[in-house]
Protein backbone atom coordinates (compact mmCIF):
# COMPACT_ATOMS: atom_id res chain seq x y z
CA UNK A 1 0.00 0.00 0.00
CA UNK A 2 1.45 3.38 -0.96
CA UNK A 3 1.44 6.40 1.32
CA UNK A 4 -1.59 8.10 -0.30
CA UNK A 5 -3.72 4.96 0.03
CA UNK A 6 -2.64 4.60 3.64
CA UNK A 7 -3.61 8.22 4.39
CA UNK A 8 -7.00 7.79 2.68
CA UNK A 9 -7.63 4.64 4.74
CA UNK A 10 -6.83 6.48 7.98
CA UNK A 11 -9.14 9.37 7.03
CA UNK A 12 -11.99 6.98 6.13
CA UNK A 13 -11.55 5.15 9.44
CA UNK A 14 -11.59 8.41 11.41
CA UNK A 15 -14.76 9.55 9.62
CA UNK A 16 -16.41 6.19 10.31
CA UNK A 17 -15.62 6.39 14.01
CA UNK A 18 -16.18 10.12 14.54
CA UNK A 19 -18.89 10.87 12.00
CA UNK A 20 -19.84 13.99 10.12
CA UNK A 21 -18.41 17.31 11.36
CA UNK A 22 -20.95 19.96 12.39
CA UNK A 23 -20.76 23.60 13.39
CA UNK A 24 -22.87 23.94 16.53
CA UNK A 25 -24.83 26.90 17.84
CA UNK A 26 -22.94 29.27 20.18
CA UNK A 27 -24.40 27.42 23.18
CA UNK A 28 -25.12 23.70 23.47
CA UNK A 29 -26.46 21.68 26.40
CA UNK A 30 -24.90 18.68 28.14
CA UNK A 31 -26.88 16.65 30.67
CA UNK A 32 -25.21 14.73 33.46
CA UNK A 33 -26.13 12.84 36.59
CA UNK A 34 -25.91 15.16 39.62
CA UNK A 35 -23.36 12.82 41.25
CA UNK A 36 -20.88 14.19 38.68
CA UNK A 37 -21.58 17.84 39.52
CA UNK A 38 -18.67 18.47 41.88
CA UNK A 39 -16.13 16.80 39.61
CA UNK A 40 -17.40 18.65 36.52
CA UNK A 41 -17.28 21.97 38.37
CA UNK A 42 -13.59 21.32 39.15
CA UNK A 43 -12.25 19.60 36.02
CA UNK A 44 -14.74 20.53 33.29
CA UNK A 45 -16.19 17.86 31.04
CA UNK A 46 -13.83 14.95 30.46
CA UNK A 47 -14.32 12.44 27.65
CA UNK A 48 -15.52 9.11 28.98
CA UNK A 49 -17.62 6.09 28.23
CA UNK A 50 -20.87 6.87 30.01
CA UNK A 51 -22.98 4.00 31.30
CA UNK A 52 -25.58 4.20 28.51
CA UNK A 53 -22.91 4.62 25.85
CA UNK A 54 -20.95 1.64 27.19
CA UNK A 55 -24.05 -0.54 27.05
CA UNK A 56 -24.81 0.65 23.50
CA UNK A 57 -21.22 0.13 22.40
CA UNK A 58 -20.93 -3.34 23.91
CA UNK A 59 -24.04 -4.47 22.05
CA UNK A 60 -23.33 -2.72 18.73
CA UNK A 61 -19.60 -2.97 18.16
CA UNK A 62 -17.61 -6.12 17.54
CA UNK A 63 -14.56 -4.78 19.37
CA UNK A 64 -14.60 -2.74 22.57
CA UNK A 65 -11.72 -0.58 21.30
CA UNK A 66 -14.06 0.82 18.62
CA UNK A 67 -15.99 2.57 21.37
CA UNK A 68 -14.37 5.99 21.69
CA UNK A 69 -14.64 8.07 24.89
CA UNK A 70 -16.79 11.10 24.14
CA UNK A 71 -18.87 14.01 25.43
CA UNK A 72 -22.44 14.20 24.13
CA UNK A 73 -24.45 17.39 23.85
CA UNK A 74 -27.62 18.82 22.34
CA UNK A 75 -27.27 21.52 19.71
CA UNK A 76 -30.19 23.40 21.23
CA UNK A 77 -31.19 24.86 24.59
CA UNK A 78 -34.88 24.06 24.10
CA UNK A 79 -36.19 21.66 26.71
CA UNK A 80 -38.02 19.56 24.09
CA UNK A 81 -34.73 18.91 22.25
CA UNK A 82 -32.60 17.89 25.25
CA UNK A 83 -31.46 14.30 25.64
CA UNK A 84 -33.86 12.48 27.97
CA UNK A 85 -32.13 9.91 30.17
CA UNK A 86 -35.41 9.43 32.12
CA UNK A 87 -33.66 10.92 35.17
CA UNK A 88 -33.68 14.48 36.50
CA UNK A 89 -30.17 15.37 35.33
CA UNK A 90 -28.05 18.47 35.74
CA UNK A 91 -27.96 20.65 32.62
CA UNK A 92 -24.68 22.31 31.68
CA UNK A 93 -24.32 24.91 28.93
CA UNK A 94 -21.16 24.89 26.85
CA UNK A 95 -19.94 28.00 25.04
CA UNK A 96 -18.81 26.40 21.78
CA UNK A 97 -17.13 29.53 20.47
CA UNK A 98 -14.49 29.43 23.19
CA UNK A 99 -14.46 25.69 23.94
CA UNK A 100 -12.06 25.04 21.06
CA UNK A 101 -13.26 21.51 20.25
CA UNK A 102 -14.53 19.91 17.05
CA UNK A 103 -18.14 18.70 17.10
CA UNK A 104 -19.67 15.86 15.10
CA UNK A 105 -23.16 14.64 14.37
CA UNK A 106 -24.05 11.93 16.89
CA UNK A 107 -24.20 8.80 14.73
CA UNK A 108 -26.55 7.12 17.23
CA UNK A 109 -29.42 9.22 15.85
CA UNK A 110 -30.79 8.44 12.40
CA UNK A 111 -31.70 10.77 9.56
CA UNK A 112 -31.07 14.49 9.50
CA UNK A 113 -31.03 15.00 13.28
CA UNK A 114 -28.32 17.53 14.03
CA UNK A 115 -29.66 18.30 17.51
CA UNK A 116 -27.52 15.57 19.06
CA UNK A 117 -23.79 16.12 18.71
CA UNK A 118 -20.59 14.72 20.15
CA UNK A 119 -16.97 15.70 20.70
CA UNK A 120 -13.98 13.52 21.48
CA UNK A 121 -12.07 16.26 23.29
CA UNK A 122 -12.19 17.48 26.89
CA UNK A 123 -14.04 20.73 27.56
CA UNK A 124 -12.46 23.09 30.10
CA UNK A 125 -14.36 24.27 33.17
CA UNK A 126 -14.17 27.96 32.19
CA UNK A 127 -16.45 27.45 29.14
CA UNK A 128 -19.29 25.62 30.92
CA UNK A 129 -22.03 26.79 33.25
CA UNK A 130 -24.49 24.78 35.34
CA UNK A 131 -27.95 26.14 34.50
CA UNK A 132 -30.12 23.46 36.11
CA UNK A 133 -29.46 21.37 39.21
CA UNK A 134 -31.16 18.03 38.84
CA UNK A 135 -32.15 15.66 41.64
CA UNK A 136 -30.97 12.48 39.95
CA UNK A 137 -34.36 10.89 40.56
CA UNK A 138 -36.16 8.87 37.94
CA UNK A 139 -39.38 10.36 36.56
pTM: 0.77
Q: Is residue 139 part of a domain?
A: no
Percent of the chain with pLDDT over 70: 71
pLDDT confidence of 112, banded at 50, 70, 90? low
Number of domains in the chain: 1
Inform me whether the pLDDT recorded for 61 exceeds 60: no
Residue 15 lies in a domain: yes
Give a yes or no: residue 30 inside a domain. yes
Q: What domain range includes position 18?
A: 3-132
Looking at the domain assignment, is residue 93 inside a domain?
Answer: yes
Question: Are 75 and 115 in contact, with CB atoms under 8 Å apart?
Answer: yes
Reduce the secondary structure of the chain to three states and give it as a string.
CCHHHHHHHHHHHHHHHHCCEECCCCEEEEEECHHHHHHHHHHCECCECCHHHHHHHHHHCCCHHHCCCEEEEECCCCHHHCCCCCECCEEEEEEHHHHCCCEEECCCCCCCCCCEEEECCCECHHHEEEEECCCCCEC
38-52 per-position pLDDT tens digit: 999 999 999 987 655
Q: Is residue 62 in some structural domain? A: yes
Whether the CB-CB separation of 29 and 79 falls below 8 Å is answered with no
91 falls within a domain: yes
137 lies in a domain?
no
Residue 138: inside a domain, yes or no?
Answer: no
Amino acid sequence: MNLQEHIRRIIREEQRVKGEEVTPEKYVAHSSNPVNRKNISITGLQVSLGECYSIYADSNYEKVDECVPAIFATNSLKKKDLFDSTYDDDIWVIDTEIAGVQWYKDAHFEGGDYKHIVTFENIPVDVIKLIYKGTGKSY
